[in-house]
Amino acid sequence: IEESLPTSQHAVRVDVSGGPEVLQWRQVPVPSPAPGEVLVRTAAAGLNFIETYQRSGVYRMAHPFIPGSEGSGTVVRLGEGVETVSPGDVVATAAGSGTYAEYFTAPAGQLLPVPAGVDPVAAAAIPLQGMTAHYLCRSTYPVESGQTVLVHAGAGGVGLLLTQLCVARGATVITTASTLQKKELSRQAGASEVLDYTGFAARVRELTGGEGVHAVFDGVGRDTFDESLDSLRVRGTLVLFGGSSGQVPPFDLQRLNGAGSLYVTRPSLAYYTRTAEETRWRAEELFAAHGAGTLDFRVGATYPLSEAGRAQADLESRRTTGKSLLLP
Ligand code: NDP
């Protein structure tokens, strides 16, 4: 039996590109799930860097729009043809539409069942950054026991999760972070060395006996890219997965030749969650690691959804650690 739902809700809406002030708390209609989709009552929405690019205009968006693709909550309505979930199920997703709202829709095939015993709010910390950390070290560059890798922004959302996953795979993890508090957090997540951003490549060489690391996971981008290349061993891999300091400008491929036959890749989560099976595999491994005590979700802060602007400003000005969640 479907419960009766309101026809309108509160949501964050963006009408024009701009700073955090363009995130407006508005009354909007509750969306209807299209065929193959479900409607979810939000427990928490995840804050992610991509939403700052979409808000500011780095990524082009059709206005108006409700931000957010990550969220958790309870399924309250099914679109036509949905048979894999039922109303009342607690789910999380990285593929929702407009999760900065009291209700959001998501494709049924991209829902992660939240195991009993996992807090439905905390579950919003896992889909986007957790699955990103998972695909980066399991699929883009499969990290192996005995290897040494460098993870930038080690106290960040992806950084804390990625560090824990690499350590669990038996790798030695070196990270970067900007403040003493962040360095301590990164160490707690398993980093053996936490470096400053200035001159990190020379320090990485020292720490690896001159060899360099097997892989660099770089979500900082513009400010770190050059030294990330200089930190790699022969035939090492630079995984550029974001640009929290800005996007990397075009570069000369010959540099990969001169520096030791290096590899560079620029991956994206959507291409690593192509099927329901692949998405479920990643989620199951993450929730299993959480259950086994090797993966702490590291929620650093929660904000009311109505203060999404303050949350995004904190993210952009490097004031956050770990995962930030928005609560309706
Ligand atoms: P974080 O929690 O890592 O926040 C960004 C961090 O980057 C800051 O806390 C800061 O840590 C560091 N940083 C370094 N330089 C700057 C700068 N100039 N301005 C702001 N921050 C800076 O964010 P997320 O975990 O959400 O995302 C990390 C990166 O991963 C982002 O670039 C994001 O776009 C990308 N991403 C990519 C995905 C993909 O599939 N390709 C999916 C998900 C995220 P510190 O102060 O220690 O330097």
Instruction: Determine the atom of ligand 1 nearest the C-alpha atom of 47.
Output: 26
Pocket test of ligand 1: the residue of 174, 218, 244, 269 to mutate, having most ligand atoms within 8 Å of its CB, is 244
Q: What pLDDT, on the 0 to 100 scale, is given for residue 117?
A: 87
Examine the pLDDT at 23 and tell me if it is beyond 50: yes
Q: What pLDDT, on the 0 to 100 scale, is given for residue 258?
A: 85
Confidence of residue 141 (pLDDT cuts 50, 70, 90): very high
Q: What pLDDT, on the 0 to 100 scale, is given for residue 3?
A: 64
Q: What pLDDT, on the 0 to 100 scale, is given for residue 2?
A: 57
User: For residue 81, what is the DSSP state?
Assistant: T
Domains of the chain: 8-125+297-327 (3.90.180.10), 129-270 (3.40.50.720)
Closest CA to 10 of 30, 40, 35: 30
Instruction: Determine the atom of ligand 1 nearest the C-alpha atom of 50.
Output: 34
Confidence of residue 90 (pLDDT cuts 50, 70, 90): very high
Q: How far is CA 277 from CA 8, 101, 177, 282, in A?
A: 34, 28, 35, 9
Confidence of residue 1 (pLDDT cuts 50, 70, 90): very low
Are the beta carbons of 216 and 236 closer than 8 angstroms?
yes
pLDDT tens digits, one per residue of 208-228: 999 999 999 999 999 999 999
pLDDT tens digits, one per residue of 301-323: 999 999 999 999 999 999 999 99
Q: What backbone phi and psi angles, to 5 degrees, belong to 42?
A: -70, 130
Examine the pLDDT at 206 and tell me if it is beyond 70: yes
Q: Does the C-beta of 48 come closer than 6 Å to ligand 1?
A: yes
Give the residue-averaged pLDDT of 159-174: 97
Q: What pLDDT, on the 0 to 100 scale, is given for residue 144?
A: 98
Q: What is the length of the chain?
A: 328
Q: Does the C-beta of 268 come closer than 6 Å to ligand 1?
A: yes
From the CA of 156, how far away is ligand 1's center (Å)? 6
Q: Does the C-beta of 135 come closer than 6 Å to ligand 1?
A: no
Q: Which residue puts its alpha carbon closest to atom 11 of ligand 1?
A: 153
**ipTM for this prediction:** 0.99
Examine the pLDDT at 146 and tell me if it is beyond 60: yes
From the CA of 8, how far away is ligand 1's center (Å)? 34
From the CA of 115, how far away is ligand 1's center (Å)? 28
Q: What backbone phi and psi angles, to 5 degrees, belong to 63?
A: -100, 155
